[in-house]
Copies of this chain bind each other. A is one copy, B any other.
């Protein structure tokens, strides 16, 4: 069943798109910069399989930080909760996503949460498998199942560019290694992590992953539990407390939807029990979130009373 274009969504997209002029496209690697800053598209996926959309929802984007919440789900399935949360904390932080200062001042020196880079690297480190390839394939298989799309792949050019420039993430890894949070080869972990971040999909796929989280891990088609309900809930909680970088608190107050954003301009949202959302809007605000994507979610949340709070 194809996703239906919605006039109402189109109207909201049009309104939200006006703020793109205040944002900026990430261009720390060339591949991310090759987009139209004024793009904005959205797909909404319902538990019954219905789908509505606006904008060019076929355009592929790399997951970037959105992948953090999915790798966390996989790792929580791979290991028990105690194991995972001994190595990464549960607390939001007022520091930037790539900060190392807190790592230094906290005792023990574990990353504050899985949504900052240091925590996400510790999580990816815990993905089970005998090789980078095997671990990556396990993650990819999981993501394909969540999205209900077997063709999802990663973008080799983006992965390679990020691998080459990931100096800060390497610094975080060595810091984690020093504090015995990780023990694998850093280049290997960076290889796996940059591939994870480079996994590509379109808004439809994103919204379908969202609906699985909205359904506490259940597959909307088959009803199969793709991940245990309590893991889906843990992920949604992190999406609320730290899913939108340093603007998570404001997002919770103004919008109140569990959501995770990425520097590519994507946002994956999960309205509990109701539907999943996939958004692409590459112009970012100063916190690194899609500026028009946030505006669009604000309009949606107000018009349809979607806040959890």
Specify which chain B residues have a CB less than 8 angstroms from the CB of A240 in the assembled complex.
240-241, 252, 309
A105 contacts B104, C-beta separation under 8 Å: no
CA distance A89 to B249 in the complex (A): 9
A92 contacts B248, C-beta separation under 8 Å: yes
CA distance A95 to B92 in the complex (A): 10
CA distance A173 to B173 in the complex (A): 12
B167 contacts A309, C-beta separation under 8 Å: no
A112 in the interface, Cβ–Cβ < 8 Å?
Answer: yes
A5 in the interface, Cβ–Cβ < 8 Å?
Answer: no
A92 contacts B92, C-beta separation under 8 Å: yes
A237 contacts B258, C-beta separation under 8 Å: no
Which single residue of chain B is at the shortest CB-CB distance from A187? B187
A238 in the interface, Cβ–Cβ < 8 Å?
Answer: yes
A144 in the interface, Cβ–Cβ < 8 Å?
Answer: no
**Given known contacts A100-B104, A171-B172, A237-B256, A248 and B91 CB-to-CB distance under 8 angstroms:** yes
A91 contacts B171, C-beta separation under 8 Å: no
CA distance A177 to B272 in the complex (A): 42
B92 contacts A93, C-beta separation under 8 Å: yes
Which single residue of chain B is at the shortest CB-CB distance from A92? B92
A252 contacts B246, C-beta separation under 8 Å: no
Which single residue of chain B is at the shortest CB-CB distance from A180? B167
A250 in the interface, Cβ–Cβ < 8 Å?
Answer: yes
CA distance A234 to B242 in the complex (A): 17
A253 in the interface, Cβ–Cβ < 8 Å?
Answer: yes
B178 contacts A171, C-beta separation under 8 Å: yes
A91, A99, A240 pick with most chain B CB within 10 angstroms? A91
A163 in the interface, Cβ–Cβ < 8 Å?
Answer: no
CA distance A308 to B240 in the complex (A): 11
Which single residue of chain B is at the shortest CB-CB distance from A168? B178
Which single residue of chain B is at the shortest CB-CB distance from A169? B174
**Which A residues between 173 and 202 are near B, CB-CB below 8 angstroms?**
173-175, 177-178, 186
CA distance A212 to B89 in the complex (A): 32
**Which A residues between 35 and 53 are near B, CB-CB below 8 angstroms?**
none
Q: How far is the CB of A80 from chain B (nearest CB, A)?
A: 14
Chain A 124-135 per-residue mask, 1 if CB under 8 angstroms from chain B, else 0: 000000000000
A: residues with CB less than 8 A from B are 89-95, 99-102, 104-106, 112-113, 167-168, 170-175, 177-178, 186, 233-234, 236-238, 240-242, 246-250, 252-253, 256, 258, 272, 307-309
- The list of the 6 closest CB pairs from A to B, nearest first, reads A171-B174, A92-B92, A93-B94, A91-B249, A167-B178, A90-B249
Given contacts A100-B100, A101-B104, A308-B308, 4 further A-B contacts (CB under 8 A): A90-B252, A99-B104, A113-B249, A170-B186
